[in-house]
Amino acid sequence: MKNHSHFAAALLAAAAGAMAQAPAVLDAAAVLEKSQAAFYYPGADMRARVVMELMTAGGKKRTRVLTMLRKNLPGARRQRYFLYFHEPGDVRRTAFLVWKYPDRDDERWIFIPAVNMTRRIAARDSRSSFVGSDFSYEDVSGRDLAADAHTLLREEKLGEAACYVIQSTPKAPAEFSRKLSWIDKVTFLPLKEEHYDARDQLARVFTADRVETAGSGKAAYPTVLKRTMKNVQSGHRTEVVFETVGYDLGIEADLFTERFLQQPPQKWVR
Amino acid sequence: MRCAAAGVLLMWAGCVHGEVQIHGFLMGNLAVRTTGERPPRGEGGAFVLGEERLRLDLSGAAASGRVSFLVKGDLFHDAVSNRVDGDLREAYAGFRGGPLDLRLGRQIVTWGAGDLFFINDVFPKDWESFFSGRPMEYLKRGVDAVRAQYSSPAVNLDLVATPFFRADALPSPKRFFLYDPFAGIASRQERKPPARAANTEVALRLSRRLAGFDLSLYGYRGYWRMPAASVESEVPAVVRFYPRLLVWGASAQRNWLAGVVSLEAGRYGSRDDRRGANPAIPNSEWRMLAGYQRQLAADLTGNVQFYAEIVDQSPPLSAAAGDRFRGILSARLTQFLRYQSWRLSLFLAYSPTGEDFFLQPEISHRLTDRFSVAAGANIFAGRRETTFFGRMRKSDNVYISARADF
């Protein structure tokens, strides 16, 4: 029932949005831009030890443990990511390197320790599952805001937090037909997202389950320390916990190169 | 000797007070020939592979990151030949200082841009493992070497010096049907390059990024990894030996049309027979590869490659005309399903010049984080026994494996 009321509200709001002045549309995009900055870009760099638990509807659980390092490059929204896997055993010491660009395809490399091989990998399909979880590559690194039309539907409280509720509709066919985002008015972090499929049925729900101002480095930022993505149709869900997080640690730019993909410095991946 | 080296490494690791990790797995592999035929004087009946393996993997590094080590080895029981043996996969110590990385000991080195086609990756391979369904990592054999890597924004330099020659492990005639031009001569000898300082193999790679490309230049001074064979008439015996080889090459990879394009080429210079006069020694040749990889849909990746060898002069021993040029088209499809707990893959290689092909379908399933199973097949076909896949056509096999990680 809840889904239906959301849907009705969304329809009404979309209709209202279409008739409204241009600034409302701009506002929604501006809110999402601030939200991406708060969610994907805080600090000059970041390190987190990440535990992902992949759970089936039947309760079967798989676990991935990894270290994530990120560095923002000066200027446009270019970023570099380094992901190093500690668990499970079949991917231990495997590392991913991502050079992320706002205006073109990412460059991605994988290091496969069993044969000591670094490979460049194709990176176009952002809908592919990130390491077998309910999160897609796009969820992990951010969707291009220009790919969707955004409408501010309403403002409402989610729990204690005052939120903007924004609907995003893809301009070209995508894995979702529309997405609703609840953006915290203070931190601009996304607290909840609902992804609807082609038949406009609710498909996946993202929730930020624990948000704290955190950071062991020179700075602290409001951070989603626990998040969940649930596939409401299959019952499968993925919980992600940042066990430790640090910002502005002075991670060197040359870390994000082939040399360190093969053997990352102990001080960053311990 | 090697155990002692590993022991020393362990003690030394204890001394540096780093974190030492012990991991490994237990694995069973079974492969059975489906053609119903058995190689003459073969072993194991219909079985190509039947083994249990225990992998132990010890690694550690000092907190400073300046020193590290890794020892990785298998203890296995081969049920086909009924023997217990060990396989030291890797055992090295690593040192890092400034822009330099140094690794000493047995190590696996892999470079180049091809998927299963190796041009500038001149390091030893285990083709018997590959064609009998062992996991992909067993395709690569370690080398006992010193590796030095220098990294800088201008250029990365990678040097591997190997004093001890290690050949490719080729499918054994006891388990595979092979084409043998010297079938009438029973006596066989093998002559490996002796371990002398002057015989040290040197492999070099220079790499950097340029205009969005990952560019590499390669050089290798050493030996052909696959043996040449000649008949010594006095005995008589077939002597397998490894002629000297010089390789120069380059590779480039970059994002292109929403995928990744790979280009690689190499010049193989046969140093012991530059003019191609000796029929026993492989002639000099060019090898080249062009590949394109792209995600076709969510969790589905496709890769196509064209690989070619152009030999300077026709191999005199070849029964088939036109063997100067050998081209192979390959395609790989990989599909993940059910949150990547299932993986389907298909590798197909077809040679229009040899009119032969190889097909390897595989399905693997990860039951838990610790336990996985896989099943697949190696299927060969060809019109002639002299072609690479054609000679393997009676060796079609299906394989299964199960693995528990700890």
A105: chain B residues, CB-CB within 8 Å = 255, 258
Give the list of residues 6+ apart from residue A82 with CB closer than 8 angstroms, or none.
A67, A68, A69, A70, A95, A96, A97, A98, A255, A256, A260, A261, A264, A268
pLDDT at residue B3, rounded to an integer: 52
Instruction: Answer whether residue B127 shows pLDDT above 90.
Output: yes
Record: contact B299-A114, CB cut-off 8 A: no
Of the two residues A86 and B236, the one the predictor is more confident about is A86
B214: chain A residues, CB-CB within 8 Å = 120
Record: contact A257-B293, CB cut-off 8 A: no
Q: Residues 49..68 of B with a Cβ closer than 8 Å to A: which?
A: 61-65, 68
Question: Shortest CA distance to A246 belongs to which of A211, A217, A212, A210?
Answer: A217
Q: Name the band, by pLDDT with cuts 50, 70 and 90, for residue B2.
A: low
Record: contact B258-A117, CB cut-off 8 A: no
Task: Compute the CA torsion angle B13, B19, B20, B26 (nearest 10 deg).
Answer: -160
Q: Give a three-class secondary structure readout of chain A.
A: CHHHHHHHHHHHHHHHHHHCCHHHHHHHHHHHHHHHHHHHCCCCEEEEEEEEEEECCCCCEEEEEEEEEEEECCCCCCEEEEEEEEECHHHCCCEEEEEECCCCCCEEEEEEHHHCEEEEECCCCCCCECCCCCCEHHHHHCCCHHHEEEEEEEEEEECCEEEEEEEEEECCCCCCCEEEEEEECCCCCEEEEEEECCCCCEEEEEEEEEEEEECCCCECEEEEEEEEEEECCCCCEEEEEEEEEEECCCCCHHHCCHHHHHCCCHHHHC
- Phi, psi (5° rounding) for residue A84? -125, 125
Least confident of A5-14, B100-109, B287-296: A5-14
Tens of pLDDT, residues B169-188: 999 989 998 877 787 888 88
pLDDT at residue B106, rounded to an integer: 98
Instruction: Answer whether residue A5 shows pLDDT above 70.
Output: no
Q: Which residue of A has its CA nearest to B252?
A: A120
What b/e string do you get for B197-235 counting C-beta neighbours within 10 Å, with b at 16 or more?
Answer: eebbbebebbbeeeeebbbbebbbbbbbbebbbebeeee
Tens of pLDDT, residues A94-126: 999 999 988 888 999 999 999 999 999 987 767
Domains of chain A: 25-269 (2.50.20.10)
pLDDT at residue B317, rounded to an integer: 52
- Phi, psi (5° rounding) for residue B392? -95, 5
Query: A63 touching B, CB under 8 A?
Result: yes
Query: A235 touching B, CB under 8 A?
Result: no
Instruction: Answer whether residue B258 shows pLDDT above 60.
Output: yes
Of the two residues A218 and B320, the one the predictor is more confident about is A218
Distance of alpha carbon A36 from the chain centroid: 9
Of A116, A131, A254, which has the smallest distance from its Cβ to B110's Cβ? Answer: A116
Average pLDDT in the A71-92 region? 92
ipTM: 0.93
10 Å Cβ neighbour count for B301?
Answer: 20
Q: Name the band, by pLDDT with cuts 50, 70 and 90, for residue B47.
A: very high
CA dist list (Å): B401 to A72, B51, B141, B170: 44, 10, 20, 21
Tens of pLDDT, residues A118-141: 999 987 767 889 999 999 988 998
pLDDT at residue B314, rounded to an integer: 60
Query: Nearest CA to CA, how far is B247 from chain A (Å)?
Result: 20
pTM: 0.91
Record: contact B299-A129, CB cut-off 8 A: yes
Q: What percent of the residues of chain B are helix, what percent strand, and what percent coil, each to the nearest 5?
A: 10, 55, 35
Q: Residues 245..264 of B with a Cβ closer than 8 Å to A: which?
A: 253-255, 258-260, 262
Query: B19 touching A, CB under 8 A?
Result: yes
pLDDT at residue B319, rounded to an integer: 44
Q: Name the band, by pLDDT with cuts 50, 70 and 90, for residue B18.
A: low
B205: chain A residues, CB-CB within 8 Å = none
Q: Which residue of B has its CA nearest to A119?
A: B113
Average pLDDT in the B1-7 region? 53
Record: contact A116-B259, CB cut-off 8 A: no
B68: chain A residues, CB-CB within 8 Å = 263
- The terminus-to-terminus CA distance of chain B in angstroms comes to 27
CA dist list (Å): B254 to A105, A111, A144, B293, B341: 11, 16, 22, 10, 30
A92: chain B residues, CB-CB within 8 Å = 23
How does strand B237-241 pair with strand B188-191? parallel
The burial of B373, by beta-carbon neighbours within 10 Å (0-12 exposed, 13-18 middle, 19 or more buried), is given as middle
**In the Cβ-directed half-sphere of B230, how many Cα atoms lie within 13 Å?**
12
Instruction: Answer whether residue A255 shows pLDDT above 70.
Output: yes
Average pLDDT in the B120-128 region? 97
pLDDT at residue B320, rounded to an integer: 46
Of B65, B299, B406, which has the smallest distance from its Cβ to A89's Cβ? Answer: B406
Record: contact B151-A62, CB cut-off 8 A: no
Best B339, B367, B371, B403 residue to mutate vs chain A (most A CBs within 10 Å): B339
Query: A57 touching B, CB under 8 A?
Result: no
pLDDT at residue A76, rounded to an integer: 76
Query: Nearest CA to CA, how far is A15 from chain B (Å)?
Result: 32
How many degrees, rounded to 5, is the angle at CA A164 between CA A158 and CA A170? 115
Q: Which residue of B has its CA nearest to A133?
A: B339
Separation between Cα atoms, residue B301 and residue B295, nearest integer Å: 4
Task: Pull the structure tokens for residue B93.
Answer: 């110590």
Task: Pull the structure tokens for residue A187.
Answer: 């931190």
Of B68, B259, B295, which has the smallest distance from its Cβ to A128's Cβ? Answer: B295
| Mean of the per-residue pLDDT values of chain A | 90
Query: Nearest CA to CA, how far is B63 from chain A (Å)?
Result: 6
Q: Which residue of A has its CA nearest to B139?
A: A115
Of the two residues A156 and B322, the one the predictor is more confident about is A156
Task: Pull the structure tokens for residue A194.
Answer: 């609902």
pLDDT at residue A16, rounded to an integer: 47
Least confident of A164-168, A231-235, B64-68, B356-360: B64-68
Query: B163 touching A, CB under 8 A?
Result: no
Record: contact A120-B139, CB cut-off 8 A: no
Query: B298 touching A, CB under 8 A?
Result: yes
Q: Name the band, by pLDDT with cuts 50, 70 and 90, for residue B385.
A: confident
Tens of pLDDT, residues B184-215: 888 889 999 999 999 999 999 999 999 999 99
Instruction: Answer whether residue B358 shows pLDDT above 60.
Output: yes
Query: Nearest CA to CA, how far is B257 from chain A (Å)?
Result: 9
Separation between Cα atoms, residue A152 and residue A142, nearest integer Å: 19
Average pLDDT in the A15-26 region? 47
Query: B271 touching A, CB under 8 A?
Result: no
| Mean of the per-residue pLDDT values of chain B | 92
Record: contact B64-A90, CB cut-off 8 A: no
pLDDT at residue A103, rounded to an integer: 82
Instruction: Answer whether residue B119 shows pLDDT above 90.
Output: yes
Tens of pLDDT, residues A159-173: 999 999 999 999 999
pLDDT at residue A23, rounded to an integer: 46
